[in-house]
Amino acid sequence: MVSAWERDEWTHAPFDAAAVERLRSLIAGLDASQRLWLSGYLAGSAVVFGGHTPSLSSNGALTQSASAPRFTVTILYGSQSGNSERVARLLHDKLKERQIESTLLDMMDCRKSHLQAAQKLVVIVSTRGDGEPPERALPLHELVHSPKISRLEHLSYCVLALGDSSYEKVCETERQLDARLEALGAKRIRTLEECDVEFEMPARRWVDEVLPLVGAQPGAGTIPQTSESESRTAKISTAYTRRNPFHANILVNQRLTGRESSKDVRHIELSLEGSHIHYEPGDAIGVVPRNHPNAVDALLDGSKLDAAAPVRVDSQTVDLRRALLDHFDIGPVNPPLLTRYAAAVESPQLTELCESPDRMRRYLYGRHLVDVLREHPPTMLNAADFAQLLRPLAPRLYSIASSQRAATDEAHLTVSVVEYDSFQVRRRGVVSNLLASLGAGSATAPIYLHRNAGFRLPADPRTPVVMVGPGTGVAPFRAFLAEREIVGGGGRNWLFFGDRTFESDFLYQSEWLDARNRGVLTRIDVAFSRDQADKIYVQDRLRENGAAVWAWLQEGAHFYLCGDAGRMASDVHAALLDIAKNHGALTDEQAIEYVTRMQRDRRFQKDVY
């Protein structure tokens, strides 16, 4: 069914009637998620294709636009003193005189997408010092040497170096960059030019020489028709599952918490290249778990069980050690498991303990399976019987912290590495430690997509959203914000974030600041529990800003909560009720009704774990 709104839109669409008909019938056959994906794909392809988008004619064939193809020149500069920026501006202005558009970009701000979108790249760097990349050039330096960039064949480039010959390794950084771009397949259109301190004249000459080179039309075949975009159209989704996971390359494994933090939180970027996985903001990635061999061996050592004994798992026979590695939870013990175990080993002591739920809970606090086995060895059990008692090893779901429209073939995760001591033993969370141990560029993680239809952005991008995400609960909101920025629509975004300390635990701080500067993040309020004598949490900040929160809700804002399912979730829920009461002049019952209605209308969504 086509709504009136859609009809109106089509009358202004830049297609002839026949093309409109074809497109509309095609779109009519798509479900909501396919439509969403397609819109993202088209938005993304506009970035990749730049101004050189092939157009759809009435017969439906893709044709080259009749007018001369435009192409993009990107001028990257990096310096402390502003010298390279001045040269970059000169080039920019001279290109403009020739009606050639170019993008001026500080190296600090250069991302993968810029290199992908550019066709002609001019790099102007000034350095001093002994061969170390200057501070502002470091991010680019790291990017071109990281696994995130594999090929740059679509790119033509040249490099200008402004150095100071009183340094031994003058222009070392530029030489490295020049060589690296070539190694990545980019085409050098002029040899590296090195200037000394008196750079003004040589730099001007260089600009004049470079002008016709970057101003020339790119040759045939340089239009970036990446295999990635082609393959994307081939299939909409492929069902990867826990049993049939996709092995995603690790592109980045970066600690987010500062050196003085009590926690180790990682930002992990996975490559989805070749997977055909298409996700939406709110979705999660499931990571197939695997126990650490040391933990399995410690358990086997303590138990005297035969590691090589056959065990049946899912209609397959494997040895016990393999089963413990891949299939069974050997971590914390829950009461039913203890009860089963007590019965199986016929331990009077354990059986007695299991009669009192309270004593059992106290006993189990901080104990893992290895501790129970050590204290009460499974002497009566063979491997198969023992394995039958165990719980399956559950996969771990992580909210995706990126928007596919922005991150294209990547998925980002925010992973808190679980580590603690109990009974003088270091305990480690299975999946978080597995992920934390994976090196960028070499390792892969077995993953699959987990749809989370209950956690979705408003359909109308103009709708304001309030997002409450303390700790790693902030992950999906990083995706939300990126999505809303790229979609546009101007909906306001308000984030509440909390953690332990401002200085070391402010996850993605610099990104939030940038987003606020760009105006995408309308408001951000933060609560750091350990920065002052009184503990302050996100729910306190919500209450402090109750009047404004209520005003946003009255304007139709959606309210999202993600994070710890324990106290935080109920405290935030209570704060929301209080806000409805205090600022909406509602009774207790009315407030409950209001919040319940919000949930029913899907204006209040939670993703708690």
Partner 1 sequence: MDVEGPVLPRSIPIEKQHSNERLKRDSRFLRGTLEQSLIDPVTGAVTASDGLLTKFFGIYQQDDRELRDERRRAKLEPKYQFMVRVRLPGGVCTPAQWLALDALAQEYAGNTLRLTTRQTFQFHHISKRQLRAHIRGIYAAGLDTIAACGDDNRNVICTANPLQSPAHAEVSNLARRIGERLLPRTGAYREVFLGTPSGSLPDDEEPVYGSTYLPRTFKIALAVPPQNDIDVFAHDLGFVAVVEGGEIAGYTVCVGGGMGMTHKVSATFPRLSEVIGFCTSSEVLEIAEQSMCIQRDYGDRVDRAHARFKYTIEDRGTNWFCDELARRRGRALQPARPFIFETSADRPGWMQGADGRWHYTLFIENGRLSDLPGRSLLTGLRAIAGVHRGVFALTTNQNVTVAGITDADRPAIEALLRTHGIANDIRASALRQNSMACVALPTCALAMAEAERYLPSLINRLDDIVFDAGLADTPISIRMSGCPNGCPRPYLAEIALVGKAPGRYNLYLGASVRGDRLNALYRENIAEPQILDELGILLRRYAEEREPGEPFGDFTVRTSIVPAMLAGRDFQR
Which residues are near partner 1 by CB under 8 A? Answer: 128-130, 132, 135, 138-139, 142, 164, 166-167, 197, 254-259, 267, 502-504, 506-513, 516, 524-526, 531
Q: Please answer whether residues 78 and 134 qualify as being in contact, where contact means their C-beta atoms are separated by less than 8 angstroms.
A: yes
The Cα–Cα gap between 562 and 477 comes to 9
Strand pairing report for 444-450 and 523-528: unpaired
Residue 58 CB, shortest distance to partner 1, in Å, is 48
Beta-strand (E) ranges in 165-283? Answer: 187-188, 193-195, 246-255, 265-271
Residue 142 CB, shortest distance to partner 1, in Å, is 8
The Cα–Cα gap between 558 and 231 comes to 35
Diameter over CA atoms, the chain: 92
Residue 197 CB, shortest distance to partner 1, in Å, is 5
Place of tokens 């001045």: 86
Joined together, the tokens standing for residue 156 give 């033509």
Give buried/exposed letters for 542-570 (b at 16+ CB in 10 A, else e). Answer: bbebbebbbebbeeebbbbbbbeeeebbe
Q: Which residues contact 532 (CB under 8 A, 6 or more apart)?
A: none
Looking at the Cβ atoms of 424 and 510, the one nearer to partner 1 is 510
Residue 498 CB, shortest distance to partner 1, in Å, is 11
Joined together, the tokens standing for residue 270 give 């996975």
Q: Please answer whether residues 122 and 110 qualify as being in contact, where contact means their C-beta atoms are separated by less than 8 angstroms.
A: no
Task: Tell me the torsion sign for CA atoms 431, 437, 438, 440.
Answer: positive
Looking at the Cβ atoms of 363 and 398, the one nearer to partner 1 is 398
Looking at the Cβ atoms of 24 and 516, the one nearer to partner 1 is 516
Looking at the Cβ atoms of 326 and 531, the one nearer to partner 1 is 531
Looking at the Cβ atoms of 524 and 608, the one nearer to partner 1 is 524
Residue 542 CB, shortest distance to partner 1, in Å, is 15
Nearest to 134 by CA among 100, 104, 173: 173
Q: Which residues contact 609 (CB under 8 A, 6 or more apart)?
A: 397, 563, 564, 565
CA dihedral 477, 548, 525, 107 (to 10 degrees): 60
CA of 290: how far to CAs of 249, 269, 296, 313, in Å?
Answer: 17, 20, 10, 15
Looking at the Cβ atoms of 67 and 532, the one nearer to partner 1 is 532
Residue 257 CB, shortest distance to partner 1, in Å, is 7
Looking at the Cβ atoms of 512 and 594, the one nearer to partner 1 is 512
- Burial class, 576, CB count within 10 angstroms (exposed 0-12 / middle 13-18 / buried 19+): buried
Q: Please answer whether residues 188 and 153 qualify as being in contact, where contact means their C-beta atoms are separated by less than 8 angstroms.
A: no
Looking at the Cβ atoms of 184 and 197, the one nearer to partner 1 is 197
Residue 103 CB, shortest distance to partner 1, in Å, is 23
CA 363 to chain CA mean position, Å = 39
Residue 502 CB, shortest distance to partner 1, in Å, is 7
Beta-strand (E) ranges in 116-244? Answer: 120-126, 156-162, 187-188, 193-195
Residue 487 CB, shortest distance to partner 1, in Å, is 23
Q: Crossing angle for the helix pair 509-518 and 475-487, nearest 10 degrees?
A: 20
- Burial class, 71, CB count within 10 angstroms (exposed 0-12 / middle 13-18 / buried 19+): buried
Q: Is 107 helix (H, G, I), strand (E, B) or coil?
A: helix
Residue 89 CB, shortest distance to partner 1, in Å, is 16
Residue 389 CB, shortest distance to partner 1, in Å, is 43
The letter for the amino acid at 236 is: I
Looking at the Cβ atoms of 110 and 323, the one nearer to partner 1 is 110
Nearest to 559 by CA among 447, 469, 445, 429: 469
The Cα–Cα gap between 260 and 478 comes to 24
Residue 513 CB, shortest distance to partner 1, in Å, is 6
Residue 130 CB, shortest distance to partner 1, in Å, is 6
Looking at the Cβ atoms of 138 and 298, the one nearer to partner 1 is 138
Question: What one-character DSSP code corresponds to residue 556?
Answer: T
Looking at the Cβ atoms of 255 and 276, the one nearer to partner 1 is 255
Residue 525 CB, shortest distance to partner 1, in Å, is 8
The Cα–Cα gap between 366 and 372 comes to 11
- Residue 467 phi/psi, 5-degree rounding, is -120, 125
Give buried/exposed letters for 244-270 (b at 16+ CB in 10 A, else e). Answer: ebbebbbbbbeebbeeebebbbbbbbb
Looking at the Cβ atoms of 486 and 524, the one nearer to partner 1 is 524
Looking at the Cβ atoms of 108 and 184, the one nearer to partner 1 is 108
Residue 60 CB, shortest distance to partner 1, in Å, is 45
CA 381 to chain CA mean position, Å = 45
Looking at the Cβ atoms of 360 and 526, the one nearer to partner 1 is 526
The letter for the amino acid at 97 is: E
Looking at the Cβ atoms of 442 and 510, the one nearer to partner 1 is 510
